């Protein structure tokens, strides 16, 4: 039995290495793949044949023969229609959903309020309601990935704690996977942003960075109890998302926070209610946030700090506050060679990152991932799904 397990592991690892190289550098030949990965040409040919048979790879065109003669190289590409992944961001104020193909192109998207049901039932109804539109794409669905605020055990498929949704040790992955017949992953929303940036920067090997996800929460929203800006922190180390020893990495509190203080900052609740509408309250909160991050950047030495959500939509105002009131943050960036990069503020960033999490793990060598994703994210399962669901 152990021999079979090792053989299956090695087979999936080899497929992942080859597919990852095609994902990063489409239009490469079998010979070049074998050279870069230091694999036998026969091994690469067998893997490519398997990927072609399962509709993942196709032969693009024939290249020019080498001066010394021999066969002309055949360039390979990934089939953008071999499968798709549904990513959903869940927030008290509503949801954002997007279906991505393997190259990160959005095939459809939808936003709205969560169904008026208990949380787990609301998520099941939401996913079920999206299925007809996904089926109309006539592309096999490979998985469903959920991004949610809180402490999440991705390997176990459980939300350990989510204050915005009043959840404690809630199983999500397995019931939904059994209901819809595909792997279902659940991840912290800020970690989804980190997966998004890992996938977006896969060609330049950016591996160590921080991601800020910031959104304004409204007290009147369903499930919502407080008003103010929420902050999630995603941490990427060595090309994988770091979740911490208890899955709580990225649960941010600012330098002004004290024990017993509600929320993530020590700023008064009345000031937090004004952060969205009052420029001075926004500036105070921004100073508190980036003063807290300065030490973290100095200690962790990341290559970049990515900013998404509400702060990305207010990048000019944030830049002015940093120049005028938090100059030491810029000094730390300069000293460490770290870049501050603002996203577009796209509402679909978390949902897209959730979907990209699936692809990042599918195309990663198993031993090099951040851990078992708690669902069948491997090539054997993908081949089975595509064969069963291909139009």
Contact 248, 151 (CB under 8 A): yes
* HSE-CB of 12 using CA atoms within 13 angstroms: 22
Asked whether the domain spanning 193-342 has the same topology as the one spanning 2-78, the reply is no
Query: What SS3 state is found at 42?
Result: helix
Contact 151, 247 (CB under 8 A): yes
Distance separating alpha carbons of residues 86 and 207, to the nearest angstrom: 25
Q: Which residue has the higher pLDDT, 380 or 339?
A: 339
Question: Average pLDDT for residues 329-342, to the nearest whole number?
Answer: 96
Q: How many beta carbons lie within 10 A of that of residue 37, not counting itself?
A: 16
**Could you read off the pLDDT of 364-388 as tens digits, one per residue?**
876 544 445 545 688 988 999 888 8
Average pLDDT, stretch 311-324? 97
Do 304 and 338 form a contact (C-beta atoms < 8 A)?
yes
Domain spanning 2-78: CATH 3.30.1330.50: no
Q: Which residue has the tokens 């180390």?
A: 237
For residue 164, what pLDDT is reported?
86
The dihedrals phi and psi of 115, each to the nearest 5 degrees, come to -55, 145
> Looking at the chain, how many residues does it have?
391
Mean pLDDT of 129-150: 96
Q: How far is residue 332's CA from residue 300's CA, in Å, rounded to a whole number?
A: 11
How far apart CA 29 and CA 208 sit, in angstroms, is 30
Compute the mean pLDDT over every residue in the chain, rounded to the nearest whole number. Answer: 90
Examine the pLDDT at 14 and tell me if it is beyond 80: yes
3-state class of 386 per DSSP?
Answer: helix
Per 3-state DSSP, the chain is made up of helix, strand and coil in percentages (nearest 5) of 40, 25, 35
pLDDT of residue 371: 47
Q: Is the pLDDT of residue 316 over 60?
A: yes
Quick: pLDDT tens for 71-97: 677 899 999 999 999 999 999 889 999
pLDDT of residue 6: 60
Model confidence over 190-216: pLDDT tens digits? Answer: 999 999 999 999 988 899 999 999 988
Q: Above 70 in pLDDT, residue 7?
A: no
pLDDT of 373: 55
> Is the CATH number 3.30.420.40 carried by domain 84-189+349-389?
yes
> pLDDT-derived band of residue 241, with 50, 70 and 90 as boundaries?
very high
User: Which residues, including other chains, have CB under 8 Å from residue 221's CB and lie 6 or more apart?
Assistant: 92, 93, 94
Domain residue spans in the chain? Answer: 2-78, 84-189+349-389, 193-342
The pLDDT tens digits of the residues spanning 154-173 come to 999 999 999 889 999 999 99
Q: Are 140 and 82 in contact (CB under 8 A)?
A: yes
pLDDT over 60 (residue 358) = yes
What's the CATH superfamily of 193-342? ATPase, nucleotide binding domain (3.30.420.40)
Among 4-8, 18-22, 120-124, the least confident range = 4-8
pLDDT at 368: 44
379 in Cβ contact with 20 (< 8 Å): no
């Amino acid at each position: 039995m152990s021999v079979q397990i090792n053989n299956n592991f090695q087979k999936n690892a080899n497929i992942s290495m080859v597919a990852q190289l095609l994902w990063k550098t489409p239009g490469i030949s079998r010979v070049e793949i074998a050279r870069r990965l230091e694999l036998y040409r026969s091994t690469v040919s067998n893997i490519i044949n398997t990927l072609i048979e399962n509709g993942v790879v196709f032969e693009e065109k024939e290249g020019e023969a080498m001066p010394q003669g021999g066969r002309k190289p055949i360039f390979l590409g990934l089939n953008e229609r071999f499968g798709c992944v549904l990513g959903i961001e869940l927030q008290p104020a509503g949801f954002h959903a997007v279906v991505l193909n393997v190259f990160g192109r959005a095939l459809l998207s939808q936003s709205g309020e969560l169904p008026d049901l208990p949380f787990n039932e609301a998520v099941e109804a939401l996913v079920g309601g999206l299925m007809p539109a996904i089926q109309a794409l006539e592309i096999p669905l490979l998985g469903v990935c959920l991004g949610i605020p809180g402490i999440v055990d991705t390997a176990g498929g459980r939300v350990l704690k989510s204050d915005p949704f009043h959840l404690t040790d809630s199983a999500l992955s397995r019931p939904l996977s059994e209901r819809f017949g595909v792997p279902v992953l659940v991840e912290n929303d800020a970690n989804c942003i980190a997966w998004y940036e890992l996938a977006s920067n896969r060609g330049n090997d950016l591996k160590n960075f921080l991601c800020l996800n910031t959104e304004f929460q409204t007290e009147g929203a369903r499930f919502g109890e407080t008003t103010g800006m929420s902050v999630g922190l995603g941490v990427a180390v060595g090309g994988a998302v770091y979740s911490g020893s208890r899955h709580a990495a990225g649960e941010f509190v600012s330098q002004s926070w004290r024990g017993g203080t509600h929320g993530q900052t020590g700023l008064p609740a009345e000031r937090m209610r004004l952060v969205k509408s009052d420029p001075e309250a926004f500036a105070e909160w921004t100073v508190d946030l980036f003063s807290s991050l300065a030490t973290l950047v100095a200690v962790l030495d990341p290559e970049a700090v990515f900013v998404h959500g509400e702060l990305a939509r207010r990048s000019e105002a944030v830049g002015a506050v940093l120049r005028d009131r938090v100059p030491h943050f810029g000094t730390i960036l300069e000293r460490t060679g770290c870049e501050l990069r603002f996203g577009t503020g796209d509402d679909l960033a978390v949902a897209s990152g959730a979907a990209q999490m699936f692809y990042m793990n599918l195309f990663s060598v198993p031993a090099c991932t951040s851990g078992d994703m708690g669902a069948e994210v491997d090539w054997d399962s993908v081949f089975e799904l595509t064969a069963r669901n291909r139009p």
